[in-house]
């Protein structure tokens, strides 16, 4: 029997932060999917060694000056609450924090065997580190996992596995279409960015407030004060995805929240999240998550 040469990601984070996670939930024994909620002490930064696990991290709160340490120095982009970072297996990482941070991490071992469609091997082989990017679907999935982990009773391993599997399938699909990691790392943080005359954060807030209706690109372009073509180019550069991809992800993320936290029927949820019909909602939800809305609700 051989001894692993790389630590589990949870132990790497525990050592780097010097604290135990506030919440820890796992699906399975041994090499398991792990959900962890961390609040660090005040620190200048931390380093993580290589592990055999894919880590998806969601910045929950604390310092808004978190930067990745790269070969060329500190990243231009800063992580702020709400942004996501991916740490692939077999890669070390270092970050400058400038204070305390609250962060949730999802750990998936390579040997776990999730995603029979090959999502996990694809991520393990091809995903580059991605720092401080915005993805509404990933954020909603991570928040759903954390709520389950914080609940009065442990979440079922099947629920953790299914939701993590859908998240990984989404990331694997995105990995095929996103720009190079360095570009995304520098461009994805929205603080201070503008499209035309409009701050990107304001534009995304407008989208959030109007998800229940159609949001044509022409309308968004007029609001930003640029042409349709200029808006399309600027939005992809700022977010790493097309306007249609972003809207679809955000609508599905909003639907996930309603499925878990309300008793609304599927017709009403489709209306509340801007889908043209229940069938359109169901088809889109299944295409993005690998689950039907009904099945997703049953697993809550």
Q: Which domains does the chain have, with CATH numbers?
A: 9-156 (2.60.120.10), 194-298 (1.10.10.60)
Residue 120: pLDDT over 60: no
Residues 24-64: pLDDT tens digits? 888 765 557 899 999 999 999 999 998 888 999 999 999 98
Residue 71: pLDDT over 50: yes
**Rounded distance between C-alpha atoms, residue 112 and residue 97, angstroms:** 31
What pairs with residue 95 in β-bridges? 46, 68
What does the pLDDT average to over 16-30?
A: 83
Residues 140-167: pLDDT tens digits? 889 888 888 888 887 888 888 888 888 8
Among 291, 295, 293, residue whose Cα is nearest residue 117: 291
**pLDDT > 70: percent of the chain:** 83
**Rounded distance between C-alpha atoms, residue 120 and residue 190, angstroms:** 28
- Candidate from 11-20, 58-67, 178-187 with smallest mean pLDDT: 178-187
Burial of 99 (0-12, 13-18, 19+ CB in 10 A): middle
The model carries a pTM of: 0.64
CB 188 within 8 A of CB 129: no
109 pLDDT band, cuts 50/70/90, is confident
pLDDT of residue 265: 94
What does the pLDDT average to over 201-219?
A: 90
Residue 116: pLDDT over 80: no
pLDDT of residue 11: 92
What does the pLDDT average to over 68-84?
A: 84
Burial of 288 (0-12, 13-18, 19+ CB in 10 A): buried
């Amino acid at each position: 029997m051989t001894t692993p040469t790389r630590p589990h990601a949870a132990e790497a984070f525990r050592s780097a932060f010097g604290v135990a996670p506030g919440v820890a939930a796992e699906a399975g024994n041994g090499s398991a999917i792990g959900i962890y909620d961390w609040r660090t002490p005040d620190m200048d930064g931390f380093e993580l060694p290589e592990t055999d696990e894919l880590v998806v991290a969601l910045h929950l709160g604390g310092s808004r000056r978190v930067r990745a340490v790269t070969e060329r120095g500190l990243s231009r982009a800063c992580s702020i609450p709400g942004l996501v970072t991916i740490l692939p297996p077999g890669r070390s990482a270092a970050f400058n924090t400038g204070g305390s941070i609250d962060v949730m991490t999802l750990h998936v071992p390579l040997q776990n065997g999730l995603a029979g469609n090959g999502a996990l091997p694809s991520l393990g082989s091809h995903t580059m580190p991605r720092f401080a990017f915005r993805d509404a679907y990933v954020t909603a999935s991570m928040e759903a996992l954390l709520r389950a982990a914080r609940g009065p009773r442990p979440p079922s391993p099947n629920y953790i596995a299914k939701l993590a599997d859908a998240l990984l399938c989404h990331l694997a699909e995105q990995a095929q279409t996103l720009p190079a990691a360095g570009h995304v790392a520098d461009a994805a943080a929205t603080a201070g960015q503008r499209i035309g005359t409009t701050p990107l954060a304001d534009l995304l807030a407008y989208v959030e407030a109007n998800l229940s209706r159609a949001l044509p690109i022409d309308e968004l372009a007029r609001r930003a004060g640029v042409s349709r073509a200029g808006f399309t180019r600027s939005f992809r550069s700022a977010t790493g995805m097309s306007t249609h991809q972003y809207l679809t992800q955000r609508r599905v993320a909003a639907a996930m929240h309603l499925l878990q936290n309300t008793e609304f029927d599927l017709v009403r949820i489709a209306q509340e999240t801007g889908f043209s019909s229940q069938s359109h909602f169901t088809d889109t939800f299944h295409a993005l998550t690998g689950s039907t809305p009904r099945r997703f609700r049953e697993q809550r």
